[in-house]
């Protein structure tokens, strides 16, 4: 056994630090980006470019009193935010950032990320229910029906890719796409002509799975106050926020690994962790861009999009790819 307890502890600490740092500074990026899109400055007072805003926010959240509403289910109220953050950190363990930077390369990496992501729905349900708030319950029912319906096309798309590459190990998935942009999964090949559409489906589903606008019906401010975390203040809210951004980073990493060749350079030169980080931050920027430029959909429109459009297309793509893989 080369994996000692010390190694495990170091890996976990790095995973938590990466998740927390990303959460803090993605909030800053989000607010600056929103400001830019809405023609206002955004946070620009604390430090150069407002870069000291996230630590200030963090301190404020940590020093605030944690108020538990009367009539709330105390134990579950406390568990829900932890359940939002912990699975996200677990998922970081198996994500390879480059050929050598991975905490634990598992044969079932894809499956593990989806297994832990599925705990997120439970956290939203418990948060909404335990705070004993109408808006909370309504929002959590919405968010979970959305999560369940978007998990299906997402998984079907992943099955298509696993069928093409024959592995669920994230490192091997990237290795199978190495050597330049023409080898990436997003580029249509003879056996998988519909890959760009798969990419779009997966991208849409990750937006929906992370409860981001235009699919943020779980926390629709104009209808449900703040959705499932209406009653949460201080670090309870902070954990939900960090969990959301950690999930965005995981979603972007998964898109990068499955479709965009991971740490591979588009021209096949100098592969390394910098390409991976570049790709995930471009994707995250597009998430932010979409959030602030599209209006929110309705819940019916959202569920119809999944069940009537995305699932049939992804199923068709699965069958087509299976057939073509047999032929070629």
Q: Which residues are at the interface with other proteins (CB under 8 A)?
A: 1-2, 4-7, 73, 75-76, 79, 106-108, 111-112, 114-119, 121-122, 125-126, 129-130, 137, 140-141, 144-145, 148, 151, 168
Nearer to other proteins, 6 or 190 (CB): 6
Least CB distance to other proteins at residue 89 (A): 15
Dihedral (CA of 23, 11, 59, 226) sign? positive
Nearer to other proteins, 119 or 225 (CB): 119
Cα distance between residue 106 and residue 177, in whole Å = 18
DSSP calls for 232-291: --HHHHHHHHHHHHHHHHHHHHHHHHHHS-TT--TTSSS-SHHHHHHHHHHHHHHHHHHH
- Angle in degrees, 0-180, between the axes of helices 234-259 and 74-92, rounded to the nearest 10: 30
Q: Which of 95, 129, 154 is nearest to 277 (CA)?
A: 95
User: By three-state DSSP, how is residue 189 classified?
Assistant: strand
Q: Tokens 């105390």 identify what position?
A: 74
Q: How far is the CB of 319 from other proteins (least distance, A)?
A: 18
CA angle (194, 305, 125) in 5-degree steps: 120
Q: Cβ of residue 2: shortest distance to other proteins, in angstroms?
A: 6
Q: Distance (Å, rounded) from C-alpha 328 to C-alpha 325? A: 5
Least distance to other proteins, CB of residue 190, Å = 24
Q: Which is nearer to other proteins, 121 or 217 (CB)?
A: 121
Toward other proteins, which CB reaches closer, 1 or 190?
1
- Nearer Cβ to other proteins (69/272): 69
Residue number with CB closer to other proteins (53 or 176):
176
Minimal distance in Å, beta carbon 75 to other proteins?
A: 8
Distance in Å, CB of 4 to other proteins, minimum: 5
As a whole number of Å, the CA-based R_g of the chain is: 20
Q: C-beta of 28: minimal distance to other proteins in Å?
A: 32
CA distance 319 to 198: 13
Q: Provide CB contacts within 8 A for 186, sequence distance 6+.
A: 195, 196, 199, 259, 260
Give the nearer residue to other proteins in terms of CB position, either 71 or 295: 71
User: Which residue bears the tokens 């929002």?
Assistant: 139
Question: Which CB atom, from 140 or from 192, has the smaller least distance to other proteins?
Answer: 140
Cα(109)–Cα(195) distance, integer angstroms = 21
The least distance separating other proteins from the CB of residue 158, rounded to whole angstroms, comes to 12
């Amino acid at each position: 056994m080369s994996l000692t307890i010390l190694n495990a502890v170091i890996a976990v600490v790095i995973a938590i630090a990466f998740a927390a740092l990303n959460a803090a500074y993605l909030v800053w990026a989000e607010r600056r980006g929103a400001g830019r899109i809405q023609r206002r400055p955004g946070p620009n007072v604390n430090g150069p470019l407002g870069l000291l805003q996230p630590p200030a926010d963090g301190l404020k959240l940590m020093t605030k009193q944690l108020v538990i509403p009367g009539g709330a289910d105390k134990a579950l109220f406390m568990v829900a935010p932890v359940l939002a953050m912990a699975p996200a950190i677990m998922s970081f363990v198996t994500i390879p950032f480059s050929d050598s930077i991975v905490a634990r390369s598992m044969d079932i990496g894809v499956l593990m990320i989806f297994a832990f992501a599925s705990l997120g729905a439970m956290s939203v349900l418990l948060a909404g229910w335990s705070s004993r708030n109408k808006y909370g319950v309504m929002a959590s029912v919405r968010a979970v029906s959305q999560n369940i319906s978007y998990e299906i096309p997402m998984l079907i798309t992943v099955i298509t890719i696993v069928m093409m590459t024959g592995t669920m190990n994230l490192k091997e998935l990237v290795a199978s796409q190495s050597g330049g942009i023409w080898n990436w999964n997003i580029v249509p090949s003879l056996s998988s002509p519909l890959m760009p559409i798969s990419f779009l489906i997966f991208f849409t589903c990750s937006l929906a799975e992370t409860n981001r606008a235009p699919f943020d019906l779980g926390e629709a401010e104009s209808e449900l106050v703040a959705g499932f975390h209406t009653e949460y203040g201080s670090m309870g809210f902070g954990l939900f926020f960090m969990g959301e951004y950690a999930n965005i980073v995981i979603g972007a990493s998964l898109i990068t690994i499955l479709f965009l060749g991971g740490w591979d350079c588009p021209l096949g030169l100098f592969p390394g962790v910098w390409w991976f980080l570049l790709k995930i931050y471009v994707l995250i920027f597009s998430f932010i861009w979409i959030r602030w430029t599209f209006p929110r959909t309705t819940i019916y429109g959202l569920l119809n999009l999944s069940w009537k459009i995305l699932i049939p297309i992804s199923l068709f793509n699965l069958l087509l790819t299976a057939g073509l893989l047999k032929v070629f």
